[in-house]
Amino acid sequence: MSPRKTSPQRDPGAAIAATMELDAPRRLPVGAEVVPGGVHFRVWAPLRQKVEVVFEEPAEERPVEMELRPEATEASEDSGYFSWLVEGAGEGALYKYRLDGGDAFPDPASRFQPAGPHGPSQVVDPSRFRWTDAEWQGLGREGQVIYEMHLGTFTREGTWEAAARELPALAELGITVLEVMPVAEFPGRFGWGYDGVDLFAPYHLYGGPDDFRRFVDRAHALGIGVILDVVFNHLGPDGNYLKQFSERYFTDRYENDWGQALNFEDAEPARELFIANAGYWIDEYHLDGLRLDATQDVKDASADHVLAAIGRRARQAAGGKPVYVTAENEPQDTRLVRPPEQGGYGLDALWNDDFHHSAVVALTGRHEAYYTDYRGTPQEMISLVKYGFLYQGQRYSWQERRRGTSGLGLPVSAFIDFLQNHDQVANSARGERVHRLTSPGRYRALTTLLLLAPGTPLLFQGQEFCASTPFLYFADHNPELAAAVRQGRLEFLAQFPSLALAETQASVPDPESPETFARCKLDWTERETNPAAAAALALHRDLLKLRREDPVFRAQGAGWLDGAVLGPEAFVLRFFGRFFGDTAGDRLLVVNLGADLELEPVPEPLLAPLTGRRWEVLWSSEEPRYGGSGAPPPEDEEGCWRLAGQSAVVMQLVPLEGAETR
C-alpha cells in the first residue's frame, strides 16, 4: 500500500527525504523493503500513537530519525499500520523503531539481525542475489529421503559456507531433501533454534542472508532440495519484542507447552505475519518447503485454520513449482495431510513417532516413559509399514486417553519414519545415538527396514556413518533464564525412571555450557579414519541405492504389500511388484532381530515363490563390508528356512532352470 505524501518533521542534519510515492509492490506486508529510490518501512503497532525509524550511522555518530505516520486504511483492513518511504536509504542500513518517543526496538519483520535479537535490524535487498537454479523443478512428496541437520553442529565451523562443502557427500549418499533445524534469529552463542524471536532473520552466527542463499543454490545444483524447520507455535522468551507493538500477537485463550499462545483468530495482521513468513522462505530463499514444528500447539478455531493457510501461501510463493510441507503433530491428527476437499489442511507428510518408539523398544528392550505403549514386536513393525501410525484412535495408556486419528486411505509416503532425530537422541542422559544402545546386527537390520519400507525415511545428521559424537540439548541464555532451563531439562528427563535417579541427573551435561555445544559437532574425518564408520556409510549408501534403483522398492508400496510374523522377533514383508521384463517383481524383506531361527515346517504363503521360480538373495545386512559376519541364504535347496540372528535379507524371484514360469 502506498504511503500518503506528507512532510514529516525530521532531524535538521538528516540527508534523507521521504516524499516519494511507492511505485513497486511490496514483497511482504510489513518490514523494510528496498524499492526504487529508497526503502519502504511498514509496521503494525496499534498499541502506539507514534512510531519513528531510527537509523544508526556510526560515521556521523548520531541517529537519523524519520517519523512514520499512520497510513490510511480501508474499512476491511485492521488499523494500526505505520508506513513511510525513506528516500536515499538503502541496503545495509541499520535501524530500529522508536515507539511513542521512548525506547527503540528491532523490526518485527527484520530480514537480518547482525548483532543478535537485541541489536538493530538491517535492510536487506533479496533481489541482488544471483541465483543459478533456474532449472530446479522443486520437490514433490514421493521418492524423498530426508536428512535432518543442525547448522551449528553439522560442521566444526557451524556456518552455511562450511556446510555447503559437505553437500556433495550427501548427494552421493542418496539424500534428496535437507531438513534444516530452525534458523530464525535467537539469543546467545548457540542453541537448537526453537526459541527464535525474529522469524524473518536467519541466525547471524551461521552467516549472512546471502550465505544461506548460496547454500540453497549449491544444494539445488547437486539435486538436493532444502526445507526449513519453522516454529509457529510460540516465540522464545528472550528478545521477543512483539508485545511492544501489540499485545494482540498473543492470546490467553489457549494453553501452550512453551509459553503464551500465539493469536491466529481475531487479529488479522498478527495472523498474517506468520502466514507471510511461510511464503517468505520459499520466495526469497528458494526453499522447497517447510517442516512445521509441534503443530498441536498451533491453536486456531477460525473457519480457515492457519495451518491450511500457511500451506497455501507456501505453494503460492513457489510460483507453480511443487513444494514439500511436512509437520510434527504429537496427537497424530491425520487431518493435516488430508486434502481440503476431505476437510483437511492439504499438507504433505507427518512425522511418525510411532515408528521411532516401536523401533527403539525393539533395539533396546526398554519401554519406559513415552515408550510405555510399545513393545517393538514383529506385528508392530508390519503394521507400521502397512498403515503408518500404530495409534489411530485407540487408548494410549501413557496419556490415559485415546490418541491419533485414522490414517486409512493415505499414501504411505505421507508418513515420515526415523530411528533418530534431534529430540530423540537428546532425550537421554548423555545424548547417545541409538547405534550405541543396541547391538550392531539389530541396528543394521532396522536400518534396512527404515530405508526399504515404503514410508518416507529421515536420517539425522551423522547417522549415516554412526557418528561417535552425541547430540545433547544446548542453549545459551541469560543467567536467570539459564537456571530455569537447566531445571526444566532435568524435570523433563525425570519422566524416565532410569533418568530420575540422583546419580543419573548429576551426570546430565549442562545445556548452557559451551563445552556441551562443542561436543555435538560432527567429526567428518571419522568416515575415513574409523572402519566402523566406513562400514555404516557403505550400508546406508547401498540401501539408498537399492531404494532408488530397484523398481519395486522405488515404487514405495504402490503395488500390494503384506507381512507376516515368523517368530517372536522375526517377520517378513512381501512387496508384490509388477513384472519388469522377464523377471517377477516380487521382493521379500526378511528381518530377524532375535537369535537364529529355523522354520520347519514353513506354513506361511508369503514365503512361497511363484510357480517355476525360486528365491535368491539380492542383499544382506550381514555382508562383511557392512561389519556383518556373513550368513548363508535363508532358504536351502530343500525349501527349509533358517534365519540368521539379528539380520535382514532382501530376496528376489529368479526362474528355475528348465521350468515354465507364470
The residues that are catalytic are 293, 328
Exposure class string for 306-341: b at 16+ Cβ within 10 A, else e: bbbbbbbbbbebbeeeebbbbbbbbebbbbbbbeee
Strand stretches in 88-243, DSSP E = 94-99, 104-105, 121-122, 146-149, 177-180, 184-185, 198-202, 225-230
With 0-12 / 13-18 / 19 or more C-beta atoms within 10 angstroms meaning exposed / middle / buried, residue 221 is middle
Looking at 105-259, list the stretches that DSSP marks H as alpha helix, in order from N- to C-terminal side. Answer: 151-154, 160-165, 167-173, 209-221, 242-245
Q: CA 474 to CA 99: how far, in whole Å?
A: 34
Q: CA 657 to CA 613: how far, in whole Å?
A: 9
Q: CA 75 to CA 428: how far, in whole Å?
A: 54
Q: Distance between alpha carbon 178 and the CA centroid of its chain, in Å?
A: 8
Contacts of 96 (CB under 8 A, 6+ apart): 53, 54, 56, 104, 105, 106, 107, 120, 121
Q: CA 254 to CA 246: how far, in whole Å?
A: 18
Contacts of 627 (CB under 8 A, 6+ apart): 440, 444, 532, 535, 536, 539
Q: Which helix (H) or strand (E) holds 251?
A: strand 250-251
With 0-12 / 13-18 / 19 or more C-beta atoms within 10 angstroms meaning exposed / middle / buried, residue 658 is exposed
- Are 653 and 608 contacting, i.e. CB atoms less than 8 angstroms apart? no
- Are 206 and 160 contacting, i.e. CB atoms less than 8 angstroms apart? yes
- Are 20 and 38 contacting, i.e. CB atoms less than 8 angstroms apart? yes
- Are 595 and 647 contacting, i.e. CB atoms less than 8 angstroms apart? no
Q: CA 292 to CA 290: how far, in whole Å?
A: 6
- The shares of helix, strand and coil residues in the chain, as percent rounded to the nearest 5, are 30, 20, 50
C-alpha distances (whole Å) from 259 to each of 14, 45, 250, 301, 328 are: 42, 22, 10, 19, 18
Q: CA 299 to CA 255: how far, in whole Å?
A: 9
Sign (positive or negative) of CA dihedral 643, 644, 650, 656: negative
With 0-12 / 13-18 / 19 or more C-beta atoms within 10 angstroms meaning exposed / middle / buried, residue 531 is exposed
The closest of 565, 590, 584 to 448, measured between CA atoms, is: 590
For the record, the C-alpha cell of 280 comes out as: 517468505
- Are 86 and 73 contacting, i.e. CB atoms less than 8 angstroms apart? no
- Are 389 and 331 contacting, i.e. CB atoms less than 8 angstroms apart? no
The closest of 123, 127, 99, 119 to 109, measured between CA atoms, is: 123
Q: Distance between alpha carbon 325 and the CA centroid of its chain, in Å?
A: 10
HEC profile of 396-444: ECCCCEEECCCCCCCCHHHEEEECCCHHHHHCCCCCCCHHHCCCHHHHH
